[in-house]
Structure 1
């Protein structure tokens, strides 16, 4: 398996991987149009057109020449301080549980840290994301975008973190759902 940055010709394969990964997911975003792909597949398209898009933090996992996974982190904010919103992260269903998602997480967090980013937020299962250093935001000075998310909204600090606090705000396309 190889992890690399997304390239311009990867767009449709990323959409297909994301749609497949979230089609049967218990907590998937609703389709942007009736009968369409899960919302996460459309979200990536919206994010690419947003000023919060960071090309260096859109990564794919390859097996031979086939894209089998994708992760993206986009510009977010904690109060007025820059932060990152991680997700969606997608792995083809038949490849889940084989370390692809873990490799993508380590790669994107390492790339974010190397860029000098300070904090990353995500919405996901604490039992899974805790292994990557994420903690419920409720245990920090960061406030979740939606209090109903409870411990599922999590944050991870990176090397240059300096006690940021305040409300977390994802890139604007996340507000379209």
Structure 2
């Protein structure tokens, strides 16, 4: 192992971590709740995911876990006006595994899955500095407005094809936050 590490250091090649991203199963629910509570310091996000699973906006193919369950991401049905799109979030990574590429891998996987399913757009609320690396732009550039006006500086969209502008609404459980 030491020889391989020295070779990579001498050649400037980085070690690449292989990570399994897969669809959540019923056996993952408790672990998802745990990792979400740890990542969000026991905020409302874990309860939100439980509520989303029971909502008509739940899309099982877009609830993904990383390496067992060290991370989780979910997209649910949202709408711009009457046009169906996706709302991304929450995304969570166990604190012991943050800044190790888990969130990046989950983002690439869920966006690839959304595009493969033919979804027109993914909308999220988050740091523009972070999410711009995944092709997100400010939703206002597309004429998409957030449910809460104060969210606009953090409200972003990734379009796979053209969508009309208008007011975005998340799956109903988001209204209970």
TM-score band, normalised by shorter chain: 0.7 to 0.9
2:66 maps to 1:61: yes
Q: Which residue of 2 is the match for residue 168 of structure 1?
A: 168
Deviation at 1:145, TM superposition (A): 1.1
Contact 1:138 1:151 in 2 (8 A): no
Q: Distance in 1 between matches of 2:163 and 2:89?
A: 23
1:41 — aligned with what?
46
Unaligned runs of 5+ in 1: 24-36
Number of equivalenced pairs: 159
Q: Does residue 12 of structure 2 align to residue 7 of structure 1?
A: no
Following TM superposition, the consecutive aligned residue runs of length 4 or more in structure 1 with deviations greater than 4 angstroms are none
Partner residue of 1:114? 116
CA distance in 1, matches of 2:166, 2:69: 37
Whether the 8 Å CA contact 2:64–2:72 is kept in 1: the answer is yes
Q: If you compute each CA radius of gyration, which structure gives the higher value, 1 or 2?
A: 2
TM-score relative to the length of structure 2: 0.88
Does the 8 A contact of 2:124 with 2:157 survive in 1? yes
Instruction: Identify the range of structure 1 (119-128 vs 137-146) with the bigger mean alpha-carbon deviation.
Output: 137-146
Q: What secondary structure is seen at the aligned counterpart in 1 of 2:69?
A: strand
Q: What is the aligned partner in structure 2 of residue 156 from structure 1?
A: 158
The Cα shift of 1:94 comes to 1.1
Q: Displacement of 1:143 after TM fit?
A: 1.0
- When the two structures are superposed, what TM-score results if normalisation uses the length of structure 1? 0.88
Alignment deviations for residues 101-133 of structure 1 (CA, whole Å, 9 cap, x no partner): 000000000000000000111010000000001
Give the alignment's Cα RMSD to 1 decimal: 0.8
- Matched residue SS, 2:27: helix
1:89 matched to 2:94? The reply is no
